Every structure is written in structure tokens, then in C-alpha cells.
Amino acid sequence: MDNKRLLKVRVIRDDGESVEMEILFTFSNDELRKDYIAVTDWTYNDDNELNVYVYSYATDENGITKYTAIKDKDELGMAEEILDECRAIYENDKKHKEGLI
């Protein structure tokens, strides 16, 4: 990770735990008319892959942003495709920087 400072958000998980996450990127889906945020807590899974979580989000008229876990199967599949594309771009960029391609 570079020395860049990432923006942080506090997410309340389904179990009620409040966790601070760093924002990796945001994206929109015009068809669903929803905005999404990809965040991480910088933990890794058993395959040594960074845990990344995607939430939909909306800001109300009072300026309060609510993050919602994605539960719809199709919506989750769309988010996974976006994450896969981002991982591929990152890996390709990393290989270029390391002079592997």
C-alpha cells in the first residue's frame, strides 16, 4: 500500500458491530439507480486475499449516508464482477511496475 491516506467510513454490520473501514472506490449502476462503495478493514482471508466488502449507499435529505449490505443474488453478482475487474486491473498494474510484463 502506498502512503496515500484513504477516506474512512464507519459501518455497522448485521451483528451490530461498528467497524471502521477504508474506502477503496465507489461506483454506480444506472440500471438499478444505486450507488455502491467498496471498503476494506485490511484483513485477509484464508487464501491471503484482501477482504473487500461492497455496500449500496444513499444519502438522505439530512445529509446522513446509510450503507446497506447487498442481499439480492443478481446485485451481488454484479458487484463481484466489478471487484474482479478491479482486481485484474490492479494485478496487471502491479506486474507492469515490477517489470514482469
- CB contact at 8 A, 69 and 55: yes
pLDDT digits (tens, 9 = 90+) for 39-62: 999 999 999 888 999 999 999 999
- Mean pLDDT, rounded, of the chain: 86
Is the pLDDT at 81 greater than 50, yes or no? yes
Q: Which domain holds residue 74?
A: 8-97
User: Does residue 2 belong to any structural domain of this protein?
Assistant: no
Residue type, 25: F
Please give the Cα distance from 67 to 10 (Å, whole number): 9
The pLDDT confidence band at residue 4, using thresholds 50, 70 and 90, is: low
User: Does residue 58 belong to any structural domain of this protein?
Assistant: yes
Q: Please give the model's pTM, rounded to 2 decimal places.
A: 0.76
Total domains, the chain: 1
Whats the size of the chain, residue-wise? 101
Please give the Cα distance from 51 to 44 (Å, whole number): 5
